């Protein structure tokens, strides 16, 4: 069972674009049935059709994970539909950069609500099922992958609250890892550098240029590169837990 997810079920949040979308495809390619959660149902439906065409199985879950009841319902629906839950990729996130001075506080709320509270809601609802999968499932191990960022390691001028949320994900993940690892639920932190996705579309015009100038001449990673890393993490033998994976574009210095 080392390199296959046959017979397992995965839930990916933020699956309607970017890293989450690529990860859902990758986990399905490796044999998992995938529950795909995000707010844009049309994008999820299109993704599910592509997964089905490739011989996989996908369940569309229109979900706003910032609403605790919706995150819980997504987990419950995945378990009800597929009968179990072995892998969760808590990926949904938003990056609203810019100076702290005069920042719209609403942007801070959005990042805290999604990057922290959305991830907590998803994790809390999923944990009993992951513990059950590790106890009695075919692989006798389960995986929770938390998508953080290089910003979860390094704070920079202009990324204060985004970095705060991603540092929080790292702290929470490490604490939870220690809590559940002896029960064979592996908690992995993935910390990407710059990836070409829709993430920067949400930046205010006045901060986009300044924020992105660092990456102007750089070949960024593709979402598939991160999906490949996540696929690696969740297919290790039961005795191996990848705890943390920092992955940058080759040309990204810091
Ligand atoms: P995208 O903007 O392409 O993807 C973000 C995903 O989150 C979308 O599917 C979006 O779907 C979903 N989402 C947003 N709000 C909610 C919500 N309330 N409930 C459920 N889902 C939601 O960006 P990426 O793929 O790049 O981002 C994925 C993760 O990777 C994020 O956590 C980000 O911080 C992290 N990351 C990205 C990097 C990059 O350079 N791109 C670098 C480091 C980390 P919808 O709008 O349909 O709800």
Q: How far apart are CA 30 and CA 48, in angstroms?
A: 15
Q: What is the pLDDT of residue 8?
A: 97
Task: Specify burial of residue 216 (Cβ count, 10 A radius: 0-12, 13-18, 19+).
Answer: exposed
pTM of the complete model: 0.98
The Cα angle at residue 198 between residues 197 and 200, in degrees rounded to 5? 100
Of 25, 37, 38, 159, the residue with max ligand 1 atoms within 8 A of its CB, to mutate for a pocket test, comes to 38
Measured from the Cα of 226, ligand 1's closest atom is 30
Q: Looking up tokens 């829709």, which residue turns up? A: 198
Q: How far apart are CA 250 and CA 253, in angstroms?
A: 8
Residue pair 21/197 in contact by the 8 Å Cβ criterion: no
How far away, in angstroms, is 21 Cα from ligand 1 center? 10
| Average pLDDT by stretches of 10, the chain with 254 residues | 84 98 98 98 98 98 98 98 98 97 97 98 98 92 98 96 98 98 98 97 91 89 98 98 98 94
State CA 201 to chain mean position distance: 18
Q: What is the pLDDT of residue 212?
A: 83
Residue pair 113/160 in contact by the 8 Å Cβ criterion: no
- Which domains, from first to last, does the chain contain? 9-247 (3.40.50.720)
**162 assigned to active site:** yes
């Amino acid at each position: 069972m080392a390199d296959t997810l046959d017979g397992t079920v995965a839930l990916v949040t933020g699956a309607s674009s970017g890293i989450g979308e690529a990860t859902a495809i990758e986990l399905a390619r490796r044999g998992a049935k995938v529950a795909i959660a995000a707010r844009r149902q049309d994008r999820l439906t299109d993704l599910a059709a592509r997964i089905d065409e490739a011989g996989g199985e996908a369940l569309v879950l229109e979900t706003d994970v910032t609403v605790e009841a919706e995150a819980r319902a997504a987990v419950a629906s995945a378990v009800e539909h597929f009968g179990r839950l072995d892998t969760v990729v808590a990926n949904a996130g938003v990056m609203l950069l810019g100076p702290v001075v005069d920042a719209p506080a609403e942007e801070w709320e959005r990042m805290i609500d999604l990057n922290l509270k959305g991830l907590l809601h998803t994790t809390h609802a999923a944990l009993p099922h992951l513990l059950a999968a590790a106890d009695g499932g075919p692989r006798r191990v389960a995986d929770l992958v938390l998508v953080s960022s290089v910003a979860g390691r390094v704070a920079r001028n202009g990324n204060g609250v985004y970095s705060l949320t991603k540092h929080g994900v790292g702290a929470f993940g490490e604490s939870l890892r220690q809590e559940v690892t002896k029960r064979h639920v592996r908690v992995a932190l993935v910390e990407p550098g710059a990836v070409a996705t829709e993430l920067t579309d949400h930046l205010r015009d006045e901060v986009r240029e300044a924020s992105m100038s660092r990456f102007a001449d750089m070949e960024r990673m593709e979402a598939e590169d991160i999906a490949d890393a996540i696929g690696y993490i969740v297919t290790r033998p039961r005795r191996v837990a990848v705890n943390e994976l920092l992955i940058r574009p080759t040309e990204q210095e810091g």
